[in-house]
Amino acid sequence: MQHATSARSGSLFDFLKEELKPKAPFLTPFNLISIPVILGGLVLVVIRFWKGIGAVTNLNQSYPWGLWIGFDVMTGVAFAGGAYIITFTVYVLHAEKYHSIVRATVLNGFLSYLFYAGALTLDLGRPWHIINPIIGNKFGYNSILFLVAWHFMLYMISEFIEFSPVAAEWLGMEKMRKFLTKMTLGVVIFGVTLSSLHQSGLGALFLFSKPKLHPLWYTEFLPVLFLISSIFAGISMIIFEGGISHKVFASRVDPDGHENYENIVFGLAKGAAIAMYVYLFVKFVIFIHGQHWDYIPTKWGALFLVEVIVFTLIPCALFTQAYRERRLGMVRIAAVMTLIGIILNRLNISMIAFNWNSPVSYVPAVGEIWITLMVVFTEIWVFRWVVLRMPVLSEH
């Protein structure tokens, strides 16, 4: 820190004051919407801890997990999968072409874990015991959730280390940056291993739900499906988020980056399409093997087809076509559709088709949606704060 402040000549206080000042126009539509949402959300959080989870959610005895798990954790973690895919591609496969998007993707991944998985503490009834599975007070070794919790934590640390050279560079700590950069390959390997385990682990959480989850979604291959879908979910998120970043933060992007950028997007589109073909193939085999034709003419069948055909097969075809014809707009549409498909899939498994045969139902409360928006907006604020200051979108 000392090094940093002296490098910028001034006291620590001045440095902080300078860095906390907004570096972009303040009265933007995003700010006007997000600020009230975040402030209102904080009030809801207070109510939640004061009166209990029931005061702000519609969760009930048949639906112990709702939007906060189904969207924030299940979907958020899949969306954050881009970080392990890109670090794998760049550091393990040495596909240098993608180097320029590593930093933004890792930052996004790290912040997603921090905020979405962090939102989990709001959902825990007794969060003051969250430390129990970590300090080894009581280990539930054979619990999938125990494993997932540990992997989350370790992965957040590795993503932090992966990103840290950028912060070191920003603070002008050159030696530190070199040291941290040397650790990259090791941390990436560790991170990819952890990611494949916890992405599939989220699916494994529902292996217990055989009597509760609709047969169109339940399969013993849920972990495999979650893992494969996290690949194209992560890639689609990179495309989606990159499209926005490159407009909003245009001044922070290297001129080289712009040129290279289209090539990267088409490469990503191809990768997503391949992962989706594999996913659809596995889904198809499971469906045929399960002989669930009878369910297709029901409303569950319709929901299933919307998810698998409209929001997986069609974007997969679009990715393929867009890659062949090099059509940037089409890639973006496919990415958005894929993201919707992932949201549908994760919500179907954790909320909608869960307890499908129970008379009780669950619809998220306004409070749950509000707090979810608060989490998303806060993440964007922090992302923006970092991007406007650190060399995220450009090389050192």
Binding site for another protein (CB under 8 A): 49-55, 57, 59-62, 64-65, 88, 91-94, 96, 123-127, 129-130, 132-133, 137-140, 142-147, 149, 185, 189-190, 192-193, 196-197, 200-201, 204-205, 207-212, 220, 223
Nearest residue (CB) to another protein, 69 versus 331: 69
Nearest residue (CB) to another protein, 221 versus 240: 221
Nearest residue (CB) to another protein, 2 versus 142: 142
Give the nearest distance from C-beta 194 to another protein in angstroms. 9
Give the nearest distance from C-beta 202 to another protein in angstroms. 11
CA distance 247 to 268: 19
Which CA distances in Å does 99 have to 61, 195, 260?
Answer: 48, 20, 10
Nearest residue (CB) to another protein, 125 versus 297: 125
Alpha helices in the chain, H assignment, sequence order: 2-7, 12-20, 29-51, 67, 76-79, 82-87, 99-112, 120-123, 132-135, 144-170, 174-182, 184-204, 222-248, 255-290, 299-305, 314-325, 328-347, 366-387
CA distance 129 to 121: 10
Give the nearest distance from C-beta 91 to another protein in angstroms. 7
Nearest residue (CB) to another protein, 1 versus 93: 93
Nearest residue (CB) to another protein, 83 versus 386: 83
Give the nearest distance from C-beta 375 to another protein in angstroms. 18
Look at the chain and count its residues.
396
Q: Dihedral (C-alpha) 319, 323, 326, 332: value to the nearest 10 degrees?
A: 30
* Torsion-angle region of 277 (φ positive above 0: left; ψ -120 to 50: alpha; else: beta): alpha
Nearest residue (CB) to another protein, 36 versus 54: 54
Cα-flanking dihedrals φ and ψ of residue 210, to 5°?
A: -50, -45
Give the nearest distance from C-beta 164 to another protein in angstroms. 20
Give the nearest distance from C-beta 113 to another protein in angstroms. 17
Q: Which two tokens stand for residue 243?
A: 């499209």
Give the nearest distance from C-beta 281 to another protein in angstroms. 21
At residue 254, the 3 state secondary structure works out as: coil
